[in-house]
Amino acid sequence: MKKLELVFNNKDYQKALKVIETLRKNNFKAYIVGGAVRDALLNYSAKEFDIVRDAVPSEIKTIFKKTVLVGERFGVIIVNDCSKDDTESAIKKYQSENPELNIQYFAHEVNKGKGAALHTGIQKATGEYLIIQDADLEYDPEEYNDLLKPVVNGFADVVYGSRFIGSNPHRILFFWHSIGNKFLTGLSNMFTNLNLTDMETCYKLFDTKTIQGIKLYENRFGFEPEVTAKISRIPKLRIYEVGISYYGRTYEEGKKIGWKDGFRAIYCILKYNIWKRST
């Protein structure tokens, strides 16, 4: 039976731990990889948090009742990217209260960024496949099956979830963000010769051995164009894309990415497709 690990780019460990608990109750293992969590629960009012907290278990249970995921094994890795709040104590308290859960916890001594947290989690993963996911639920965990289907059916080694194709719901937010995403994807495609529609998506499923064999350098949001450039050069690697939902957040709700990250993405596309192709 195949083993899958979920890698969460996580900014709210309280919600992530709720997911872990539900997974374990259903005989799954789970690993969460988190990014910087210095904002943690501070970005959520009590009402908003209660809505999300109550929704997560029912969503995960729905996943288990569907097709591909039932019977698979999951793991959760938590990476604390030098959070200054009580994240570490909350995690350790949860671990001590639930010793039967297989939770791996790693802490960075200094804040390194989203990409660095993902590097740590990727290298600690042991499952056959891993998925990167934002634990703020901008992306719907119920759609893991959609990412897994091309892999389980033997067609794909890598699967990207696209916010710009398919009939799934998408929150209407920022016009210029959508233009920026499409521009960055198009620029990336020009150099990689891929025809992706959403290079910047969080939802990426990788064969674990493949992604662990790639040397990754970008510690922040440059992770997306760097990893895309590098997988595009792996011979015979089968890359697929599936449509996904997107429940985006506003800046008031905690969104962090900005225009500086867009310029960094352009630099990384050029860097890893031209100047640093051999790294």
* Residue of 123, 116, 75 lying closest to 223 (CA atoms): 116
Per-residue pLDDT, 19: 64
Per-residue pLDDT, 184: 94
* Mean pLDDT, contiguous 10-residue spans, the chain (279 residues): 48 59 59 38 26 31 39 69 81 81 82 88 88 76 86 93 85 79 94 95 92 93 94 96 84 64 90 83
Instruction: Give residue limits of the domains in the chain.
Output: 4-275
Per-residue pLDDT, 103: 76
Per-residue pLDDT, 135: 59
CATH number of 4-275: 3.90.550.10
The amino acid present at 197, given as its one-letter code, is T
Per-residue pLDDT, 56: 35
Q: What ranges in 125-276 are assigned the alpha helix state H?
A: 144-152, 175-192, 208-212, 223-231, 259-270
Per-residue pLDDT, 44: 28
Reduced 3-state DSSP string for 68-117: CCCCCECCEEEEECCCCCCHHHHHHHHHHHCCCCCEEEEECCCCCCHHHH
Q: How far is CA 180 from CA 107, 116, 186, in A?
A: 33, 24, 10
> How many angstroms separate the CA atoms of 248 and 225, rounded?
20
Per-residue pLDDT, 256: 64
Per-residue pLDDT, 212: 94
> How many angstroms separate the CA atoms of 221 and 208, rounded?
20
